[in-house]
Structure 1
Amino acid sequence: MGVWQLVAVGLVMFLGLVGVLVPGVPGQAIVWAAVLWWALTDMTPAAWSVLIGATALLLVNQALKPLLPHRRPRESGAPRKTLMLGGIGGIVGFFVVPVVGGIIGYVGAIYGAERLRLGSSGAGWASVRSVMRATGYAVLVELFACLLVTGAWLGTVLWG
């Protein structure tokens, strides 16, 4: 597989990660389709292993969706910008501090944005709790699953 095609697959995955944060966009399906595209063109056992793992993980994520609270971003009281910053923080955090950084970055970015907006630490944490109850857990679980798939793909491309 050529370098430009790998870059294109990576960009599609990135669009899928952003799609997880935007209501109505099937971000998880986009990430999976990018892995499928890569596996069909790479045709190595490692590529197929990543595809099988991604499929299993994303199916488990779909099975968990009914158990999580539905996304109700308006009920959180936080602006959309806060939720987007949380998602971006989760994506960046995942790659800065592998795996656990996704959760830390997500919650930390929401806290930072809300602390700046509301002006106090206590109000910032209260808003984080409200955001997590209204939409955060559902977004975080889906984003984390997609980040794990993206990380597995990137690890296989770089070191596989």
Structure 2
Amino acid sequence: MSWGGELLVGAVILIGLLGIVFPVLPGSLLVLAAIAVWAVVVGGWGWAILAAAALVIAIGEVAKWLIAGRSLRSAGIPNRTIAVGAVLGIVGFFVIPVIGLFIGFVLGAFASELVRTRDGGAAWRGMLSASRAAVITIGIELFAALIATAIWLVGAGMW
């Protein structure tokens, strides 16, 4: 692949990494898609690089749900709290671009817990637990995508 092509793949990977931190785009999928396009063009060992990157991303996706779910269960937070937070986060994103996603999630999780527990202190603790779980998922997904990116960088350096 030409230098310009690899630069374009790297740019898409960077956009994917940003999409993980600012959940607007499907970050891990963008990273994996960029590496897949690179592997198709390069061929040969590129397929092994793609397989390794896909494996790391898949492990990260499974781990983020297992670990965040365990965190939420141990805090006694129902999935409904995360769902309400996510819906209000999406609404918030359109009301206040980018930062509204976080504000909406926090307000939605708090409101859901307030309705469920009818106690402001418990709702606050529930919102903090839901936010902690969201940060954990972002961290795990970002770590896996960064490892996949490092694998691609090593592979790209081989050609």
For this structure pair, what is the TM-score category when the shorter chain's length is used for normalisation?
Answer: 0.5 to 0.7
Question: Match for residue 132 of structure 2?
Answer: 133
Q: What letter corresponds to residue 37 of structure 1 in structure 2?
A: V
Q: Deviations over 1:96-135 (max 9, x none)?
A: xxxxxxxxxxxxxxxxxxxxxxxxxxxxxxxxx9897243
Question: Match for residue 26 of structure 1?
Answer: 26
Structure 1 pair 131/145, CA: closer, same or farther in 2 (3 Å)? same
Larger Rg: 2
Structure 1 pair 63/130, CA: closer, same or farther in 2 (3 Å)? closer
Q: Identity of aligned pairs, percent? A: 29
TM-score normalised by the chain length of structure 2:
0.58
CA–CA distance in 2 between the matches of 1:58 and 1:136?
Answer: 17
Q: Root-mean-square deviation (CA), in Å?
A: 2.9
**Are positions 1:154 and 2:120 aligned together?**
no
User: C-alpha displacement at 1:137, in angstroms?
Assistant: 1.3
* Matched position secondary structure for 2:68: coil
Question: Match for residue 75 of structure 2?
Answer: none
How many pairs are equivalent? 109
**Are positions 1:39 and 2:39 aligned together?**
yes
Alignment check: 8 A CA contact 2:20 2:27 kept: yes
Q: Deviations over 1:53-93 (max 9, x none)?
A: 1111112222223213377699xxxxx5xx9xxxxxxxxxx
Question: Match for residue 62 of structure 2?
Answer: 63
CA–CA distance in 2 between the matches of 1:131 and 1:158?
Answer: 41
